[in-house]
């Protein structure tokens, strides 16, 4: 990265509201965490999934969000004990 690019990044950081700095910090740390890990680096370089979502999948997601909002959820460990 050139010095000019670093200055542009710094200028962008200055525009981030204080309320979003913790999120920005996590994002930057996440980027740095992939350094040296070939699997994480490959995942970072992988293209986004651009497969369209079917109406059925959208409905399943909508129902799941509603169930979670109503508290109709169980911890993963409980689920796997019952269904393993």
pLDDT in tens, 26-75: 888 887 877 778 887 788 788 888 889 999 999 999 999 999 999 998 88
**Residue-level pLDDT at 59:** 96
What tokens were used for 6? 């670093």
Q: Evaluate if residue 1 carries a pLDDT over 70.
A: no
Q: How many CA atoms lie within 13 A of 12 on its CB side?
A: 7
> Is the model's pLDDT at 10 over the cut of 90?
yes
DSSP state of 51: P
pLDDT of residue 12: 94
| pTM for the whole structure | 0.40
Chain centroid offset of residue 74 CA = 22
Q: What is the dihedral of CA 64, 69, 74, 76, to 10 degrees?
A: 60
């Amino acid at each position: 990265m050139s010095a000019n690019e670093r200055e542009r990044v710094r200028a962008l950081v200055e525009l981030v509201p204080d309320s979003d700095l913790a999120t920005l910090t996590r994002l930057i740390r996440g980027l740095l965490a992939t350094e040296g890990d070939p699997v994480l680096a490959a995942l970072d370089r992988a293209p986004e999934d651009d497969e369209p979502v079917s109406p059925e999948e959208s409905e399943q997601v909508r129902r799941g969000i509603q169930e979670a909002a109503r508290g109709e959820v169980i911890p993963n460990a409980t689920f796997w004990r019952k269904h393993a």
